[in-house]
Amino acid sequence: MSSLLSVVIPSHNRASLLTEAIQSILCQQSGPMEIIVVDDGSSDQTGETVESFGPPVRLIQQAHAGPAAARNRGLKHACGEYIGFLDDDDLWAPDKLQLQLPRLLGEPDADIVLGHTQRMIWRDEAAGGARFLDYRKPVKLYSLGSALFRRVVFDRVGLFDENMRHSEDDDWFMRAKSLDISMIFLPQVSQYYRFHSNNMTHNKQEKIPDTLRLLKNRLDRIRGRSGEP
């Protein structure tokens, strides 16, 4: 497994959780790797947190532009033949790369390998203290953090829509499916998705415009394929 893997983490004001996210990548059993953290205009200790790791963790800073712009910035700086993503408040499962990378290396026709997502929720336990606990059973999601990508797939599908502050990942996967990008789903958990009070996805009102944009984009693609006006 000598091919370089690049992992992109967009981050905004979550220095306290970011350390655990980075550590969950560093503990993977894999070949050469770079971790690119794009600090999306944070006002906390995000920059200092990232720089404290040293290589192979790299810091890129930009004015606040949203996760899509941060992911695109990371991709443009990535050197790897294979690409992974992780949000700054989530974790990779310890054996994610051990399970997923060989599938991409051994199956040239596969463009994306995904695993299942274990949702976790923050609880203040009187006896055990505050911590994240498993929330329901693992689920099969089209999620960036649960997936591993060939770099070339972004040449076909394109980058993330920077006009969207929410659901840009859903939009990307919809575009990929419309192009018949080859995807493999593995039954094992590859990502721990952590629910907490500061999740962007909790603000449903803010998501409405991007959800409408997501649906419009999908409808436009369907019409384009069918030749409808």
Please report, for the domain that includes residue 43, its CATH number: 3.90.550.10
Q: Are 193 and 145 in contact (CB under 8 A)?
A: yes
Residue 135: the pLDDT is 66
- Residue 55 lies in domain: 5-226
Residue 29: the pLDDT is 85
What gap in Å lies between CA 118 and CA 203, rounded to an integer?
A: 21
C-alpha radius of gyration, the chain, whole number: 18
Looking at residue 208, what DSSP letter applies?
Answer: H
Torsion sign, CA atoms 75, 80, 84, 88: negative
Number of domains observed in the structure of the chain: 1
Instruction: Report if pTM > 0.95.
Output: no
Residue 197 vs residues 92, 122, 184: alpha-carbon distances, Å: 20, 8, 32
- HSE-CB of 229 using CA atoms within 13 angstroms: 0
Q: Which residues make beta-bridge pairs with 194?
A: 120
Residue 225: the pLDDT is 60
pLDDT tens, position by position, 133-181: 656 789 999 999 999 999 999 999 999 999 998 889 999 999 999 999 9
Q: Which of 26-30, 104-108, 206-210 has the highest mean pLDDT?
A: 104-108
